[in-house]
Structure 1
Amino acid sequence: MKLKLMLWVLFTLSAVTFSTAQVKFEAKVSKKKLGVNERLRVDFEMNQDGDNFTPPDFSGFTVVGGPNQSISNSWINGKRSYAKTFSYFLAPTQRGKFTIAQAQIQIDGETYKTLPVRVEVTAAVDKPKDGNNSDYIASENLHLVAEVSKANPYLNEAITVVYKLYVSPRISVSNWNELDSPKYSDFWSQAIDMKQLKVENGTYEGEPYRYVVLRKTVLYPQKTGKLNIEPLTLSIAVDVPTNRRDIFGGRLYSTVNKTVAAGNRTINVKPLPENGKPEGFTGAVGDFDFKVKASRTELDASESLEVKVEVSGEGNLKLFDLPNLTVPSGLEQYEPEHSERVRTNLGGMEGTVTDTYTLVPQFKGKYPIPALRFSYFDVSSNSYKTITSQEVLLNVGKGPDGQRIVTSSDDTVQKQVVTQSGRQFKFIKLKTTLKEINSEPFFGSALYWTALITPLLAIPLFLFFGKKQEARKNDVVGSRVRRADKLARKYLSEAKKNLGEPKSFYIAMERALHNYLKAKLQIQTSDMSKDRIQRLLRERQVDDALVIEFVALLESCEFARYTPLSSTAMQQDYEKASRVIAAMDKQL
């Protein structure tokens, strides 16, 4: 018995402690900086009912409105949500920095106080804003920001622009669309695919905000000097809370359409240093590796091999030229095939670019392919770096001999004379054996008789199809059936176009079902009661399951007039209607 009593006391104390810990009482202001000719709104919010509310003295302000009291009490998924708010509207009495002192209230015998809030009052503004105006509240609590990773990059150095929409907890966003997109005329740009938008918590100018990343773009500046990044502009539907409540105590919202822009951003692009710039530099900026690789080094004359000139790493991989491969004269060289395996992320481009050369040796011997040099600018060390590849030596075994001649001045490359074997080239023929084409006359030819007889043979076909068309026009019942069947398909297609708009969707689908019945059962809309439809369909030997589903579709159309349905339900009804009509067509 004592054990049960102790457990009950512990449970009661923990429940009281938990409920006490959940009490929330705080002060919120419409803005923390305002002109002396503007108004300030102060809300004291609590999540549990209390007594003996005591406001601060509002030193430095005059109360021009309030206190207005509002209460919200709702149940969501079996969980009670309660909010009580005391609102005041204040007018500053002078310029300066003021503190909204602590308000206090008693909840369940305990006294709770708000934290002080600092507010700065400046000189009068040209256009004073009403702190209770919905348009002004939306403007003050909604911000579109363009975050640039680097304001003074080098030419061809990657920078990122991230567009974030900050939304204050005081408001909510119900819809948005893009009005104007930046052009990035002086940049090479690549947008990063955003699979889904994710709402995150953060701060804006020291205040708690929610934000969502709308777009990420990687830019490579192509000019030096000051470059402008054009703003992103959005049209946003903002839901702003009002002081009105519905019959259940929930706060009512007013929707305001706001146009917000990220603002122009200017970056200062630095030129690459001239001091120490290597010869043959083609504009590569980043961190790279360079290789020259041959598919094989042992082969016979007239056989082919591939030599790849490859640059890999991170940087402006698509914006520079690879070094050109030079080979001895005894090797036949074809135009290179350029390939890129590059992906772009927030850090810029990374991957591999390759030029693949096809070489064919004409004679046996040893062919050295000279080393290539690749230079790039390393941003991390602010210096140029050069990578030299290894020399590739080809050993050609079988084949005709070439005559060796004088080596190059540095004795590193030996050249060979290409001798004519008689099979590489063929001369243009100077004598021809062309013969004149004798054309027979058109009159009396096979083409002449075909053109003459074909129209005569087509006359019976025209007469046959004409009679069929005339009989089709005189078939009144058949025409009505075909017209109704066509209307059923038309309205079902209209229902598909109106998915997402319940009223238009179900009106179009009901018309389609009625026109289908007109086509198959030859009855009018005025005679279409559910009982008669079921009786007629069963008389036509239609399965009972299909009859029940068809009538259920008609009931869904009637039900949708009074109760809004979700997009999922509309999609299911559309698929069900298509399936049922297709199945009934096979049985009617």
Structure 2
Amino acid sequence: MKRIVTLLLVWISLTVSAQVKFEAEVSKATVSVNERFRVEFTMNVDGDNFEAPDFEESGFSVFSGPSQSIREIWNNGKGMFHKTYTFFLIAEKKGTFTIKPAAIEFNNRIYRSNPVKITVTPAVDPSNDPSTATVARNSTMYLVTEVSNSNPYVNEPITVVQKLYFSYNTDINDARDIQKPRFNDFWSQEIETDNFEPEQTVYKGKRCLSVVLKKAVLYPQKSGSLEIDPYILEVDCRVPTGRITIFGEIITMDDSRRLTSSGKTIVVKALPETNKPEKFSGAVGDFSFSVVPSKTTLKFGESLDLTLKVSGEGNLKLFQIPRLELPENWEVYDPEHVENVTTPLSGMTGSIADRYTVVPQAKGTYVLKDLRFSYFDLRSRQYRTLTSPPLTITVTDGPGLPAGGYASNARQKSDRDAFVTTPKMGPLVSAGRHDFLGSPLFFSLLLLPFMAIPLLVLVRRRKAAADADTVGKSIRMKKALVKRYLSEAGTYLQSKGPFYDALERALHNFLKAKLLLETTEMQKETIRELLLQRNAASTTVTEFIQLLESCEMARFAPSSATAIQNDYDTAIRLITELEKQLS
């Protein structure tokens, strides 16, 4: 009897198992990148503990879901049961992918659905994709990438504008970036877009509205075919349904759309090799070049500034200014790089400069060699070379050196008085004077040169060590620049622009001296980390960063005389405190 019961239970279990169906179906087996499609997991029993597959692992993202629906149908006394879990997915990349089985539990058993293969093709232009025609009738929307020049030279600026075109009967509520365009192998600068007001325009022969979402300036860094990736945007909007009320009003509905702009291919031309100057450093645009000394006559031991400046329009941040060539017996410090560059939609404009501080080590008249700066002119498509005129620097006698006039007067006096008649002397009388030879003063003077030899050796060693210590020279020079710019800032307390310019230079040179930073490393997070690593007080570091931000913001915001005086006093206090904390 027990054997019969057991066999009956097994037969019932197998019968029930054979009746359970758990299947996966998709609305499309072939979709394009960023296209939505539907996935349904349907079973004919009321299972529990549904477990969806990992869609992201399969190359898809979930747009919405899961939503659950239950349907029961009775026909001639026989019932049919369907329980469905629905997802809407978005294809992320092209290729062939498999949606793995989902799982559900029924009668303490786990059932799995069938895997489904999906083929994902490249993204298509929404205007050519009939699947983008949703329930909204006469409501069109396009995301377009506009490029100013698809065939530029290397380092020639091009502009990229992302525009959204939409019909008059569509209201845009919100927009979210899903994937920003990547500009690989380009130097890029995004231009801030403040005004999102729609403008009337014509697109594809139809009147519509457009709004600029993003703007960027690109400088290609190598020749060949470079790709700009598609821009993917999700838009929440309100669109017409194509129906009207009994009063004649258009019925609208909320909709969410994912738009993709088509990628762009930029074919970049290499700069010509013909007639390329030997010392060409990659400058492309329209520039002027100058070498300006702070003074042309100075005394021995004094310093002067030589400023090498390039001005104009072009890739100002992407090339090097020619190096200064000086006589061997001149002491020169590392240049201070100064940038005054703005980047509108047309490309970089402004100036860059290297300011050298030099100290002549001997008097005389020096003629500095002319310097040459070469660039590629986009208008004439030829290389041009600008040459600075030679500079004459005169170094005169300094403190402590004999003046030529003094030596000349002494010689004239000697010539005039060479043969003066000696007056007749009276009787000679003994002065009672001791002989110098053998006296203590004689022996002291005799030994003095030998005693001075160790001192001279020590002085020479210290001088050699100081000459070899280029880092120490640079630090000392930057400390001197801190004092100089602080002094300049103190004289500009009534003038906001020059004051904050001098104060910012003082703060930057202080950081260069203490943290050995270069101008390109002047990021606030880097400054904060290095100061805290050197055991600076956190409150002092925070105040210092705030002062740097105040200098940057003051150029664009009004400042009172009281605020300028407070910033000046704060700068002196913070530099003094950090000098003690970092020593």
Normalized against structure 2, the TM-score is what? Answer: 0.46
**Which TM-score applies when normalising by structure 1?**
0.46
